[in-house]
Amino acid sequence: MTGAWPGGPCPQCGDDMPPRVVHCRNCRALLNDELTEDSVEIPTFNPLPEIDVIAAASPKGHYVLCPGCQEELRIHRKYKGMKVQCKHCNHLFNYSAAIETKAFYTPCPHCSEELRAAPKYMGHKVACKHCNGHIQLMPE
């Protein structure tokens, strides 16, 4: 074999590998007979600087729908597990995990502006819409 790996099944495990790969993605075997373990220099891992500045943020409160009138309410997390009252219809309800959360809010750790995010972004890395700061949205 001369040159780069042409693609095809790995000689060791048989998995199909694309062209121009040095190691099998499955078993890490060298795919080119002309190479030895010493001839393949693995570069050192250097994390990108922007990844190092990710700040964690957890919800300060939630946006929920009132079970009585279906109006959206903004409730601080300190009231979790307590009875709260809707400011629109005065309906009393228990603010617990059983209440569907529409969104949550938290201040940006970089610029302190308030952010609103859907629950699907919990646990994800996002960027602040005000300052583009990198944030990891952490569960409570």
CA 24 to chain centre: 28
Residues 11 and 79 in one domain: no
Q: State whether residue 127 is helix, strand or coil.
A: strand
Write the pLDDT tens digit of every residue in 49-76: 655 568 999 999 999 999 999 999 999 9
5: nearest Cα among 36, 13, 14, 18? 18
* Nearest one of 73, 57, 76, 51 to 121, comparing CA atoms: 57
Is residue 62 included in any domain, yes or no? yes
User: CA 107 to CA 111: how far, in whole Å?
Assistant: 8
Express each pLDDT in 14-51 by its tens digit: 999 999 888 888 898 888 877 776 666 778 877 766 55
If asked whether residues 38 and 65 sit together in one domain, one would say no
Q: 93 lies in which domain range?
A: 55-137
Structural domain count of the chain? 2
- Residue 48 in domain: no
Examine residue 47 and state whether it is found in any structural domain, yes or no: no
CA angle 34, 35, 37 (to 5 degrees): 155
Assigned domain for 49 exists: no
Q: Are residues 34 and 63 in the same domain?
A: no
Q: What is the pLDDT of residues 84-103, one digit of tens each?
A: 999 999 999 999 988 889 99
The residue assigned the tokens 């790996």 is 5
* Domain identity same for 67 and 128: yes
Residues 106 and 76 in one domain: yes
Instruction: Tell me the three state secondary structure of residue 30.
Output: strand
